[in-house]
Amino acid sequence: MVEGVQHRQAGTGKPYDVFHTDCPARDVVDHVTSRWGVWVLISLRSNSLRFYELRESIQGISEKMLAQTLRALVQDGLVWREVEPTTPPQVTYGLTEFGREVGEPLTDLFDRITQRLSPRTTG
């Protein structure tokens, strides 16, 4: 076992084999690091947002891709989803505790990158 590569499954004592294609932890990492997963987690870092607010905050994402990304992150337990029974339904998304824990290093990475970039010039 390589140190730091395998982690214990909650409650079972069995290690995850993150290099095995059937490892559930690998699926979660794939969803988090997908093209849009990172941006959803960063967008939700401060507060919960409705679907249309998320779509507007992440420029370039289609409704279809946002819906697919949110579905995967909700299934993984990183994002919660609340539907208000109105017409039309209002759907709000936010980070679970697990989502905040996973999103924290992504936010740190994003902040470090943006602080080190040269200021953009308009011209």
Is the CB of residue 107 less than 8 Å from the CB of residue 45? yes
pLDDT 10s digits, 45-98 = 999 999 999 999 999 999 999 999 999 999 999 999 999 999 989 999 999 999
> Between β-strands 90-95 and 49-50, what pairing exists: parallel, antiparallel or unpaired?
antiparallel
pTM (2 decimals)?
0.77
The partner residues of 49 in beta bridges, in order of sequence, read 93
Reference 25, options 65, 60, 64, 77; nearest CA is 77
pLDDT of 4 reads: 35
